[in-house]
Amino acid sequence: MDRHADAFLEMLAAERGAARNTIAAYAADLSDFAAHCTARGMRAADATPELVQSYLRGLSDLGLAARTAARRLSALRQFFRFLAREGVRPDDPTELQESPKLPASLPKALSEAEVEALIGAAARLPGHRGPLAVALLELLYSSGLRVSELVALHAAALRPGAPLVAVMGKGGKERLVPVSNRAREAALAARPAPKEGARPSRWLFPSRAAGGHITRQAVGIILKDAALAAGLDPDRVSPHVLRHSFASHLLGRGADLRSLQILLGHADIATTQIYTKVLEERLRKLVEDHHPLADGNGETRHDAPAPQ
């Protein structure tokens, strides 16, 4: 990694508030590109459009997914725009490079019945694990929180009579999310009583972990336990799947994309538009189930008798 890449990563942390995992991913992508450039006798900061193109072509030849190639191109674009802004170079070699076409992907949502079964099974987990699992599930599913937002909730976040909770999302951007009474009660019931003489934790879900709060990994493990108790495949249950389920079920019940974008904390409506597939399926099923000339298979009958 050269000094320009280091400066770019420092900018991501200082100006954009990028998470540690995000910075590590950018560092890995830039290192891979730098190795490609070095093998061809050039520094990454001096790369030409042809060198960028040959790098992306090499990713395709290696059989890497289009989504991986698109992510790496995005990292390079941001890196070279940073260099241009800092006056290190006058141009952006990625400017005319087309992004790989990504396959449309549907959210892997649970059904509403499966979510209810999951919460019911979570309540049967032994000891304090049961109330904790219920609280985590209720908050993830009722508010569409990212797991990083969930674990960082402060103890004072769920104030009585306050239907909205402020959370810190990606890039240090704060947004308000609704919390149902059911989720609020579950979260408060799961909070352990402070030991005598000890100061109450500042976190909603305290733990002995280094950060003082429950970790993302611990949340994932608890959800897998609840899935097993509910008779569901644990590979189908994760914090991200519950966020998808929140969005899919809201849209399926009539929510609009703009409202969904705000609730999910997406900076760009294009990110939310993946859920249009859910909307399309709902409209198709509506016609299939209720149109008088539909045959039940999404096809319109042409042999229906003419109205008298």
Helix (H/G/I), strand (E/B), else coil: 174: strand
Annotation says 266 is catalytic = yes
Query: Quick check: is 146 catalytic?
Result: yes
195 counts as catalytic: no
Question: Distance (Å, rounded) from C-alpha 63 to C-alpha 42?
Answer: 25
Q: What is d(CA 226, CA 222) in angstroms, rounded to the nearest whole number?
A: 6
From the candidates 72, 243, 244, 249, which is the catalytic residue?
243
Checking 84-89 for CB contacts under 8 A at 24+ apart, the result is 86/7, 88/4, 88/45, 89/45, 89/46
Q: Which residue has the tokens 């976190």?
A: 203
* Rounded-to-integer distance, Cα 52 and Cα 55, Å: 5
Looking at residue 263, its amino acid is: L
Q: How large is the greatest C-alpha to C-alpha distance in the chain, in angstroms?
A: 84
Structure tokens at 49: 């459009």
Q: 16, 175, 240, 277: which is the annotated catalytic residue?
A: 240
Render the burial of 227-245: b for 16+ CB within 10 Å, e for the rest.
Answer: bebbebeeeebbbebbbbb
- What is the amino acid identity at position 122? A
| Catalytic residue (one of 36, 146, 191, 249) | 146
DSSP letter for each residue of 16-66: S---HHHHHHHHHHHHHHHHHHHTTT--GGG--HHHHHHHHHHHHHTT--H
Q: Which of 170, 216, 224, 282 is catalytic?
A: 170
Measured CA to CA in angstroms, residue 78 lies from 69, 75, 92, 186 at distances of: 14, 5, 10, 42
Q: Within 10 Å of residue 289's Cβ, how many Cβ atoms?
A: 9
Is residue 243 annotated as a catalytic residue, yes or no?
Answer: yes
The DSSP code for 281 is H
**How is residue 177 annotated by DSSP?**
E
- Cite the active site residues: 146, 170, 240, 243, 266, 275
